[in-house]
Amino acid sequence: QVMAQHNDLGREGETRSVLYLLQRDYHILECNWHGAACEIDIIAAHYGEIVFVEVKTRNFHDGTSPEEAVTSNRMYRMSRAAEEYLMANRLQEFPFRFDILSVLVKDGVWSIQHIKHAFFLKPKKRNPF
């Protein structure tokens, strides 16, 4: 029951995030795109830039801010998936960035904080030995 409510909350947060972006002249390219490394919630184009968006939705009463849930491991996996997407779609020449949409619901009122350039592409870790 709790997991179902969590999934419903996340889906509603993603739906509201797409509408939020559309209202700000973003062109939605993909929703829930699956790469080898991970899923990217939203891929959009905005004035010639490709924007990879991680949506984090939380109930206000959970006590943590949504963006705190984006771990360094998640950033690394998302950057790998972004590279895969850019190569697969021959978009390597376009500038790109990673944004987080922090979606919070408190007593039925939804708010979205848009964190642009939330993190940068993580270089591959290479073992020198």
pLDDT tens profile 28-59: 999 999 999 899 999 999 999 999 999 999 88
Paired tokens of 100: 């987080």
Smallest CA-to-CA distance from 97 within 72, 128, 67, 121 is with 121
User: What is the Cα–Cα distance from 126 to 112, expressed in whole angstroms?
Assistant: 37
For residue 116, what pLDDT band results from cuts at 50, 70 and 90?
very high
| CA nearest neighbour of 51 among 35, 30, 67 | 30
